[in-house]
Amino acid sequence: MIPAAFEYYRPQDMDGVLAILGEHGDDARVMAGGHSLIPMMKLRMADVPHLIDLQDVSGMSGIDVGSDCIRIGAMVTQADIIDNETLTAAAPILREAALQIADPQVRYMGTVGGNVANGDPGNDMPGLMQCLNAVFHLIGADGERDVPAREFYEAAYMTAREDEEVLTGITMPMPSGGYAYEKQKRKIGDYATAAAAVQITKDGDTCTSVAIAMTNLSDTPVYSEAAGAALVGTSVDDAALKAAITAMLGDIDPTEDNRGPIAFKNHVAGVILRRAIERAWSRA
């Protein structure tokens, strides 16, 4: 299909972006890579009379790996994540997840900011950012503010970002321990039927901390604190794994669609989480 008519803007700085947003309010939307918004416009699922392209706005395409935290600009692409050796050494789970997003053509244009900002429950980065305890940086007419990823998502396509705000970057503490991003999908390029992001640390043979987040199993990504708590203090044996899976299943709320009925999705979620925990534990 062809999208409805719209005005196209390509401002050179953030002041220009905010001025257009201030003038047109919720009739305006910003676009990063366009792989989420443009398909919705073409399918007439999104009516955007004023489209603001962020490609020429400077200062949002950097990756900064510090001593205790990582900052990723909103316009960093999935390909940038994959190709950055310093970032991979510091947080390999980011590359592992990015390699499972869509296909190379999409990854060269699709941005981290676009992936996390629009609230699509099928996107991979929102759950991953919850697992990594990331913070999203927003700017609007009233200034800048920070929102933790674990508090950002409210419902499908509904987030804490106001209509006149722009997500400019993401900061996360330096990850430690073992990691895994596991994803089951019908075919290359598809959204996940279920995906799990896990970061885990241990002392000897005892699990000391765990972060677990699930993707596309509710109308928002699910950070399952209970699943992580079921593993802490254990040797991540079979009983602990079963307890973590049971806790996770209590937190998700899948719906039936063309990826399968609810019972199937619950089953896949359990299998994927077990695989992710076992692989993260082996790397810890």
pLDDT 10s digits, 122-147: 999 999 999 999 999 999 999 999 99
pLDDT at 121: 94
Could you give phi then psi for residue 106, rounded to 5 degrees? -70, -40
**Pair (129, 207) in one structural domain:** no
pLDDT at 46: 84
What range defines the domain where residue 215 resides?
178-283
**Pair (46, 135) in one structural domain:** no
Domain boundary among 173, 205, 234: 173
pLDDT at 90: 98
Whether 1 maps to a domain, the answer reads no
36 band by pLDDT with thresholds 50, 70 and 90: confident
What CATH code is carried by the domain that includes residue 249? 3.30.390.50
pLDDT at 49: 94
**Pair (204, 242) in one structural domain:** yes
**Pair (75, 123) in one structural domain:** yes
What CATH code is carried by the domain that includes residue 101? 3.30.465.10
**Pair (135, 69) in one structural domain:** yes
**Pair (159, 184) in one structural domain:** no
Total domains present in the chain: 3
**Pair (77, 151) in one structural domain:** yes
Q: Give percent of the chain above pLDDT 70.
A: 100
pLDDT digits (tens, 9 = 90+) for 213-260: 999 999 999 999 999 999 999 999 999 999 999 999 999 999 999 999
d(CA 28, CA 20): 8
**Pair (168, 193) in one structural domain:** no
**Pair (71, 147) in one structural domain:** yes
Q: Where are the alpha helices (DSSP H) in 92-140?
A: 92-98, 104-109, 112-117, 124-131
**Pair (68, 134) in one structural domain:** yes
**Amino acid of residue 259:** R
Q: Is residue 18 pLDDT above 90, yes or no? A: yes
Whether 2 maps to a domain, the answer reads no
**Pair (165, 187) in one structural domain:** no
Domain boundary among 146, 173, 200: 173
Whether 220 maps to a domain, the answer reads yes
pLDDT digits (tens, 9 = 90+) for 172-199: 999 999 999 999 999 988 999 999 999 9
pTM above 0.75, yes or no: yes
Q: Which residues of 189-200 are buried (b: 16+ CB within 10 A; e: fewer)?
A: eebbbbbbbbbb
Whether 279 maps to a domain, the answer reads yes
Whether 75 maps to a domain, the answer reads yes
Helix (H, G, I), strand (E, B) or coil at 174: coil
Q: Which residues of 159-183 are buried (b: 16+ CB within 10 A; e: fewer)?
A: bebeebbbbbbbbbeebebbbbbbb
Q: Which of 111, 236, 115, 254 is nearest to 184 (CA)?
A: 254
What CATH code is carried by the domain that includes residue 44? 3.30.43.10
**Pair (84, 149) in one structural domain:** yes
Whether 58 maps to a domain, the answer reads no
SS3 labels along 200-232: EEEECCEEEEEEEEEECCCCCCEECHHHHHCCC
Whether 149 maps to a domain, the answer reads yes
In degrees, rounded to 5, the angle at the alpha carbon of residue 78 between the alpha carbons of residues 80 and 48 is 120
Q: Is residue 164 pLDDT above 80, yes or no? A: yes
d(CA 62, CA 72): 6
